[in-house]
Structure 1
């Protein structure tokens, strides 16, 4: 009777589960296909496959959180490996002695099954405890990463895994016990049941029929639990905490960078219908062209696959500088809001255009989703996509992003948050002309002056006044860059901002001391366009880029050194789009090379060797976006008398200064100030000097330090200096100072 019931229940729920699962997969595929084309997602197939296997099976992203990553690896691998135990359970419904032919009694398979099951059980108990003890409040860092996550889904998935694991070890124990009644009683040994024989020994007093009944019952429970999970996720296609187990392989394979690097550095090109759009194309665009993303269907299919794959783990949220300073942007909630909006609108998008009006008749819910704007007032500071039908996300969410890349770096399933944010900004700027008022001035200055600062191009060489050597200027003292080794890209901040000018002078002096030939463009330089592109004004960026590329080609520029992290990133990664390949290095990279080659030597005695402690702030655009972490640290650690101390948030997890994404030119009116948050951490190390490698960072941290010193929260003697200034002082035997 038990066997008949077990077979009937198991087969019935399995049939329902499979039908619904197939239907859900078809629905998800149809929804992903709603998106437009995505550029360059299938090139270098072999490398993509290798990267996908390494990142999924190797858990390279998850292991950024070591203990959690190891535990999750056992659950992840166990999910696939233990599928065979589900096959076994179906066989045991009909024969309690069933084992998969050849594989089922192979000792390595048995050992792996038991090891992974126990490891999975331990991991899941840990995950349940972790989830239950993490506050849901919106708090700083990891403790608040589950704020806004759909918690019941996480608990459900974890309890399913717990239930399946318990069933597996009970079945293994029962298999050991019933084995003595089978055709091969010698199989029921500790060798084949190394960690579950003790469970079987507890069942020694049971008869064969009783053991068979137990196996029928536990096998049925295991099947019911497994297919309840399948039915539940099939009815919830937005349940990323479950669906990512399948979609992550595709999301990683179709990633932007087949090498395995995160989608950082360059921003994806502006596209329309899968074609990159340049200034030359503007006049030829038809009425159906979409510049950026103004509705969920404007995202590429890869974007919708990103949304579908989000696990709601909150790692992006825990690292986001905007979220950690009480602003409404959470990368996680942004992605889940876009996912929910896409799937809510999906029935309309799936339908043929001539069938859509009939589909909307009498369906107020679908009408609300079709009419819901992507960006607009939501009426709620913390929640996305409110029930009242207002916009999916609030403008404050969109414009709070510093494009620091912490979300992309931390995401274990390779979601490309920054590209999606920039695409939505592009639509707001280029189509809607709806953006923060401060950006009006920025765009005008970039167009008229070629600089974010409102200063004349003729003042670009003022930084070089009073130097005791002549700085070669291309087109003036030298004809082309063929005459020197390096183009020293000064940048707008390095030419106009008083604090950044000191870095520019220091680098020029160090190159002169090291006898490294270099030249500058003087007033032939114009802004690289970084703030325009990341603020969404793609065409201003392209105008500036084309102007610079023409100059580079005229003067035969090949090797560039830059003190600005943003210029460095743009020249290195984005000017390739305009047909020029450059060797671009950050000044800390070149200076570190010169020290190692003995061309620059820090003085070991005298004022330059004065004792002090130094901490270093990683600029996002040379750190996370380009992986440059070691050179600046090596430079600081060779300075005589200097004791190097690391901030808690450093390297890949460094905290943004708040200036990126054109935020340097926007007021910070929401929450607390990002730069003061970071400065407080730097001051908290007890360091005397805060070292930076980017003029934007220097401005932000200097302002933050001044604010804290004014309030008496930081020692008056603490100062912010560029790494180049510190090195120059040491080489000249002088004390390093910001004055």
Structure 2
């Protein structure tokens, strides 16, 4: 047995190490097929990036959000790397059954560590096996986060970890038996009962057991290594290596996820100059090799855990988009096409092959066939990604927020959309109306700019307008960016008027633009029309800079002599999409502004005592988190604090809230597209709200307000919702509470209201 174990183990070790080394080189060459990224964007702040990797791995900051799954995975992951010396120990035990590692082999702290981590690795993988079985698609169907995952590969990996963990435990116990441990001690604080049982066996039996378990551990480990070396697209195994560089090279060095702003469009690693694009500039992604090398690394790192899928609003409402399956499809396609690309293959803009016949002579037929598949296309066309998958995304960010290995799903989806829109002119027809309206009128509804100010005639106080009532914004504290929806959509206008009245009551000096402003460009950018975003954004930045008293020089840039610090240019917005674009994306266009959401300002005014909620607003309320306020910008507390300050309201959270909040269905330009597949996302969200039997559904976004109102009204008509239920913005709730009750003559009964607290 000893001789057989030695021979088999040495052969497997030699083959495994050689193949694994070759696989690492293949993956490195493969990832480098992707396009370069702008200089410094993935390698800045190396110390901070290293700290981020350590924090995410050792703290399991994403995984631990999932309770027992995170704890179990922590032990499995830490055990894999920290118990590597047990392989060395097992090799020594093949030759001498009672062999111990030099120096540390008899060191109690090391043995306690091996004992504890080894045992917990076994318990951890058993827990994960049970969880996988309980969540199998056969039982949960589409709702299972494992739907579409490679179960065979997962079973193989789980079996390997379980076998290796049991071998570590048994070899440690056999050490104790062979070294005559005859009483409890710290080094064997868990395995001592097994040690005591083994002590009753003769020496030959103990030796043969040692050879067996040592050989089994080594054989299992290196069969695993050979398998993954031969299958470099096995994400469920390779993620344990690729996750480290993928996290290190993530978009934000400080550990933030790739949400908020979209990055500028690049070609060959350089931002595209839309005023004078180069002849060879690549607009978006139409081939797998057009993705950046970080994208290729993303695809290879996916572990198929399905956390993104379980949170995706499209997948949860019967649509074909699963962020997990999309990334898996891109991974499988990229790996299958890799031999063709590595041989120099590729197509030019006219579709002509760039490689010679000699270069492609040794490329496998399967790789050549894969190279002919369109990246975006229907199943009949052999496409890798179906158009319905691409256009189902709401860019809500749930996938990016939950991914434990920091895959940047939204960036890749938008890159593919960019090519479809800007080069192929292929997108849902309804979105075309929105784009035409933006091009002609500067707003999605195509209304005249004078209508942007119509709401100001519906309030009983003066709303200052820049250029008319105030010369520029230096005369006021805030510019209130009303936005297209807030100025032109009837339901959103109620929020606008309520917020403006609250500012008036609080004595906050503010002004609005005079109608020359245009859509911020959020929808066209996420639809994929980067050119239109750049155009709208540049015009708005110039308009805003001028409104803040900055003048432009002959080159169209801000004159440094008039330039003001960001802190002096304050903007408040009621629309999270405007808020996100102006705050996070306009700096790319030279617009540096201090932007806050209206709920943040209202909370501040309440804290200062400038707004005092006194009138009860009775009823049960549930709050819906707008994706672009919550996940994209981490603003969760202010709206809830406002609700908590309104007397009479009883707040109850929906099951999916805050980081796991469920989208209303309007993001990613879906506001302007019909839902023709599956259940409407807004109906799914409203059903969740109605399960609480609330009197009020509140939100803090005009898009969400429209989507939720439409669904609630539809359910009222169908008799599925009570007639009294309201959908309102938190600003409307606050205004109802701040207003004092009126006496029979209609005059405010101010004497009934308590004195406001002194301003801090």
TM-score, scaled to structure 2: 0.92
Determine whether 1:126 maps to 2:127. yes
Q: Partners in 2 of 1:573 and 1:610 — Cα distance?
A: 35
2:36 maps to what in 1? 37
- The match for 1:590 is 601
User: Where does residue 531 of structure 2 map in the other structure?
Assistant: 539
Which stretch shows the higher mean deviation, 203-212 or 469-478? 203-212
Number of the residue aligned with 2:49: 48
Determine if the alignment matches structure 1 residue 556 to structure 2 residue 548.
yes
Equivalent of 1:291 in 255, 269, 283: 283
Correspondence for 1:75: 76
Pairing of 1:79-94 with structure 2 (within 5 A): 79-94=80-95
* Range moving further from structure 2, 345-354 or 306-315: 345-354
Q: Please, which moves more after superposition, 262-271 or 347-356?
A: 347-356
Q: Secondary structure at the match of 1:543?
A: helix
Superposition map of 1:471-620 within 5 A: 471-556=463-548, 558-603=569-614, 608-620=615-627
The offset of 1:583, in angstroms, is: 0.7
1:204-353 pair list within 5 angstroms: 204-282=199-277, 285-286=278-279, 288-352=280-344
Q: Secondary structure at the match of 1:624?
A: coil
Distance 1:687 1:660 in 2: 25
CA–CA distance in 2 between the matches of 1:330 and 1:323?
5
Aligned to 1:724: 731
When residues 4 and 140 of structure 1 are mapped into structure 2, their CA distance, relative to the original with a 3 A threshold, is: closer
Q: Distance in 2 between matches of 1:299 and 1:355?
A: 20
Shift of 1:189: 5.2
The 3-state SS of whatever aligns with 2:198 is coil
Q: TM-score, normalised by structure 1?
A: 0.94
Which blocks of at least 5 consecutive residues in structure 1 are unaligned? 380-388
Answer with 706-715 or 320-329: which moved more.
706-715
1:378 aligns to what?
A: 379
For 2:375, what is the secondary structure of its paired residue?
A: coil
Contact 1:278 1:542 in 2 (8 A): no
Q: Residues 52-71 of structure 1: matches in 2 within 5 Å?
A: 52-71=53-72
Instruction: Check whether the contact 1:348–1:359 (CA below 8 A) recurs between aligned residues.
Output: no
Q: Secondary structure at the match of 1:584?
A: strand
C-alpha distance 351-307 of structure 1, shift in aligned 2 (>3 A): same
2:406 aligned to which of 414, 419, 423: 414
Q: Which residue of 2 aligns with 1:12?
A: 11
Report if aligned partners of 2:314, 2:392 keep a CA contact under 8 Å in 1: yes
Q: Compute the displacement of 1:124 (Å).
A: 1.0
Distance (Å, rounded) in 1 between the aligned partners of 2:258 and 2:271: 17
Q: Deviation string for 1:658-681 (max 9, x for gaps)?
A: 000000100100001000000111
- Separation in structure 2 between the aligned mates of residue 81 and residue 438 of structure 1, nearest angstrom: 55
Greater Cα shift, 722-731 or 575-584: 575-584
CA shift, 1:193, in A, is 1.2
CA distance in 1, matches of 2:702, 2:355: 56
Alignment of 1:171 onto 2:175: no
The more displaced of 228-237 and 412-421 is 228-237
DSSP 3-state at the match of 2:595 = strand
Show the counterpart of 1:153: 153
Asked whether the equivalents of residues 360 and 366 of structure 1 are also in contact (C-alpha less than 8 Å), the reply is no
Say which SS state the counterpart of residue 560 (structure 1) adopts.
Answer: strand
* Cα offset, 1:179, TM superposition: 0.6
Which one of 695, 700, 711 corresponds to residue 688 of structure 1? 695
State the alpha-carbon separation in 2 of the partners of residues 429 and 720 from structure 1.
35
Q: How much has 1:106 moved relative to structure 2?
A: 1.5
**Which runs of structure 1 show a deviation greater than 3 angstroms over 4 or more consecutive aligned residues?**
137-141, 352-356, 358-364
CA–CA distance in 1 between the matches of 2:602 and 2:717? 34
**CA drift at 1:95:** 1.6
Q: For 2:188, what is the secondary structure of its paired residue?
A: coil
Tell me the secondary structure at the aligned position of residue 187 of structure 2.
coil
The residue number in structure 2 matching 1:382 is: none
CA distance in 2, matches of 1:23, 1:341: 21
Within 2, Cα distance between the matches of 1:332 and 1:71?
22
Tell me, yes or no, if structure 1 residue 191 matches structure 2 residue 186: yes
1:673 maps onto 2:680 in alignment? yes
TM-fit CA distance, 1:116? 1.1
Shift of 1:467: 1.6
Does structure 1 retain, via aligned residues, the 8 Å contact 2:249–2:294? yes
Encode CA deviations 1:164-208: one digit per residue, 9 max, x unaligned: 01111111111111112xxxx78x852321111211211223222
**Deviation readout 1:87-129 (Å, 9 max, x if unpaired):** 1101111121221112222111111111111111111111111
Aligned length: 712
Decide which of 635, 639, 653 is 1:646's aligned counterpart: 653
1:371-418 residue CA offsets vs partner (Å, 9 max, x unmatched) = 100001114xxxxxxxxx701010000000000000000000000000
After superposition, the C-alpha distances for 1:689-727 in whole angstroms (9 at most, x for unaligned) are: 000100000000000101111111111111100000000
1:281 positional shift: 3.1
Question: Using a 3 Å threshold, how does the CA distance of structure 1 residues 47 and 154 change in structure 2: closer, same or farther?
Answer: same
